[in-house]
Amino acid sequence: MAEYWSTLDVDLHLAVDPASGRRVGLEREAIRDGRLAAGVRLPSTRTLAVELGMARGTVSSAYEQLVAEGHLVAVRGSGTRVAALAGETVPSRSSSSKPPTASAASATPATSARQLTHNLRPGSPDLSRFPRAAWLRASRRALTAAPSDVFGYGDPRGRIELRRALAGYLGRTRGVLADPERIVIVSGAVQGLALLGQVLGGAVAMEDPYIPLFHQVVRGTGASVVPLPVDDDGARVELLSGPGHRDVGAVVVTPSHQYPVGSTLHPARRQALVEWACRDGGRIVVEDDYDGEFRYDRQPVGALQGVLPEHTVYLGTASKTLGPGVRLAWMVLPERLLVPVTEAKRHADHQSEALGQLTLAEFITSHDYDRHIRACRLRYRRRRDLLAERLRPKAGRPAAGFALGGIAAGLHALVRLEPAGMSEAEVLARAAEFDLELEGLAGLWDAVASASDTSDRPQGIVVGFGSPGEAAYPRALDALVRTLSWS
């Protein structure tokens, strides 16, 4: 649909140049500063003259001058439009309202220029399965019942409707002891960690490998990050009491499903972490429960916060259950951190947007959220099973050169590369040949604190099985099998 000026439903600011006169101001402001794109339809000279309070002759002269200079094109029967400059194309009516392609919509500054056909990178659910109809119904109900104050400034902790809904949901599904008064709504795990870094300060231990951005965010607050190694039993909690970790006052862990290794924190280590946090009275555990709802071998592992509420910050998010675009996450805080974190949130952005909060609250209390998660759990389990089947060693095939792990939960698996097989760099290069995007383990280690010690790091590929659409997933697995030399 073409763009129009103010009389045709789109406003455009036109400043009058007191030095050059109205005509020159109109020329420069309307065309030359580029705010009107090629193909934009201009109003008639009569209409614009009335809007600007000018003589029609002045506007007509300006149009004629701009046509002569090549800025405008006047075609009988279709009005006057902004001309395309060299190299530009004029969008048609039929194409101007089309959404970007999937590859363009998902592009980030870190994405390569060429978008590959198949995508098994981790970090996202299947966005094509966002519950649009149910979300729309919840939004309508929430907006209809919303008080007027929802459109004003509110509590930095977030809407009480969502905090109450989350308190009930987290208690019954994750075993979290959540008082609505101790919940703070944030716009994602990144903001949650940024606020906590400001409040906690000092030395913060973080799992390694983990998400490099999270390490960077905490360092950006002025806190120092101390890497905490991870193995098949989760974070190596015993190291917190050893040299190099003795000044640590807080630790960020993923007990339910470590990213990217995929391990669950061993019960003995959970107990050791509880003892560490309770020692000396002031230590904090930040529990990143990013995909705790998705467990396939048994009931989801309960949150650590349920046994250590006064020493644990529980960090949850809708990014893996609904989608990162929802921009809603939550923290359940110990009493001593509530005021400083709330004030840090107030100073950061005052509050997260309110209408999405009300919609999510309605989505949860209507149990549409539970139904959506159950459906997703079944769908992702089928995908997990298909991945395991396609990569299972079979008679007549060459030695695999890798082992699949971390598939008991979540939306990703770790393909560990054996020393006798291909290297991580070789696998990624082959993946590109087969038009497949993958995540290498090498990019997930802490680059600042442990850059000098890389010799004993395992090599592997992190495979996300959540994000491809239903039709795209089998084809992506075909490309993965070819990449790993199985044909």
Does the structure show a pLDDT above 80 at 294? yes
Q: What is the largest CA-CA distance in the chain?
A: 87
Element (H, E) at 286: strand 284-288
Residue 292: predicted pLDDT:
87
pLDDT in tens, 10-31: 455 555 555 555 544 555 555 5
DSSP 117-145: SEE--SS---GGG--HHHHHHHHHHHHHH
Does the structure show a pLDDT above 50 at 413? yes
CB 229 within 8 A of CB 239: yes
CB 159 within 8 A of CB 150: yes
Of 2 and 18, more confident: 18
Residue 396: predicted pLDDT:
52
Of 49 and 381, more confident: 381
Does the structure show a pLDDT above 80 at 441? yes
Residue 60: predicted pLDDT:
82
Residue 254: predicted pLDDT:
96
CB 61 within 8 A of CB 23: yes
Rg from Cα positions in the chain? 28
**What does the DSSP 8-state code read for residue 12?**
-
Residue 1: predicted pLDDT:
42
pLDDT band at 148 (very low <50, low <70, confident <90, very high): very high
> If you average pLDDT over residues 388-397, what whole number do you get?
76
DSSP 205-234: EEEESS-HHHHHHHHHTT-EEEEEEEETTE
The fraction of the chain above a pLDDT of 70, given in percent, is 83
Does the structure show a pLDDT above 60 at 163? yes
Residue 90: predicted pLDDT:
53
Of 229 and 116, more confident: 229
CB 105 within 8 A of CB 97: no
Cα dihedral 90→92→93→96 (10° resolution): -70
Question: How distant, in Å, are the alpha carbons of 290, 427, 443 from that of 255?
Answer: 10, 29, 22
